[in-house]
Structure 1
Amino acid sequence: MPPVNKNQFLDCLERRVESHLQEAVKIFQNEPDAVLLQPAPDGGWSMAQCLDHLNGYGYYYLPQIAKGLSKPNKAAHPHTFTSTWLGTYFTRLMEPSTGTKKMKAFKNHIPRPDLDAPAVVAAFIQQQETLLTYLNQARTADLDTIKIPISITKWVKLKLGDVLQFLIAHNERHVQQAKRHLVNAGV
């Protein structure tokens, strides 16, 4: 993959996270529990389950990102980021525009149906705020040299930049899913 300007890359990711945060605050936070917990008409996840699924990934990746960012970095902070083929592949799988194939969630990331919907929404909002903080910290980090183990196997590590774009694409996928459910629910 060709190198991209790091600040432009982070600006784009930051805009997406800001959008997820605003949608959570303006839309999901104001819905009653019954609407948030209503299963999709096709038997799919409720809005709360979509967000809880994302929270599960956040509970894993946000501490890993914090750990990576906290390591002393004596090298220069390049102004570019170069995605790996594996990072690009995972991100493309998650992007709603390129990852159109329906996928099964890993067993440990399947949300329960009986959730505390307000707590799920609050956790999602908090995680998006934390992610914005980390994106800001990443501006002075080397997105190519910091490696983060992926959630499905600790043996595979991706560059910090790849993990950030994958995580945010995954968030986008399920925020859109939850918003479609709002339309289907007639809200």
Structure 2
Amino acid sequence: METLPKEQLLNSLEHLVDGHLQQAIQHFQNMTARDLLQPAPDGGWSIAQCLDHLNSYGHYYLPKIQQGIAKNVHLTPKDTFKSSWLGAYFIKMMDPETGKKKYKAFKGHIPAPNLDAYAVVAEFIQQQENLLIFLKEARSADLNAIRIPISIARFITLKLGDVFQFIIAHDERHIRQAMRNMAEKTSARF
């Protein structure tokens, strides 16, 4: 677990979130509800289900992040961040480059098949915009000291820097899944 300059970490995370936001606006926002709700050819989740799954994590984590930052404004921020061993483990597990294993979604995070596709996309865009705001606010926060309880076991807490990395890696994983689904739909038409 290496120590990273906080500014470098937050810049790279903002870049990823901005990419997720742009993909949602350019691709998913302009698709038909039918295409957004069509299951993947391999029987996997539809694009809307991928985004709804991410929204369910946002429902939990975004308010916790906002509270954590607001509650700890008095802390003197450190210029560096070092992941905890548990945080590093979760991030590596979720990162699409290092975590190749498929995981079953936890109860409460399994998307329904019949969704309001446009509402799901709009909510995802809003959550990504909020995440960008929180990343900017985190520049004046201590990413090491603010602790956030994880959704699957609230008695376990992770450092704010680990939570940001985990959420964004999880988003990247499912955005790639949605993009593969979109590409397969496009190639199936031709």
Q: Secondary structure at the match of 1:107?
A: coil
8 Å contact from structure 2 (residues 96, 172) kept in 1: yes
Deviation per residue, 1:46-95 (Å, 9 max, x gap): 00000000000000000000000001443321100010111111011111
Deviation per residue, 1:80-125 (Å, 9 max, x gap): 0010111111011111100100111002110000000000000000
Q: Secondary structure at the match of 1:185?
A: helix
TM-score under structure 1 length normalisation: 0.98
Q: Secondary structure at the match of 2:186?
A: coil
Aligned to 1:119: 119
How many pairs were matched up? 187
Identity %: 58
What are the residue-to-residue correspondences of 1:21-170 with 2, within 5 Å?
21-170=21-170
8 Å contact from structure 2 (residues 75, 141) kept in 1: no
Distance, in Å, in 2 between the alignment partners of 1:77 and 1:102 is: 36
Deviation per residue, 1:149-174 (Å, 9 max, x gap): 00001100000000000000000000
Distance, in Å, in 2 between the alignment partners of 1:99 and 1:72 is: 32
Give the drift of 1:186: 1.7
TM-score under structure 2 length normalisation: 0.97
Unaligned runs of 5+ in 1: none
**AA partner of residue 44 (structure 2):** G
Q: Secondary structure at the match of 1:4?
A: strand
Aligned to 1:16: 16
Unaligned runs of 5+ in 2: none
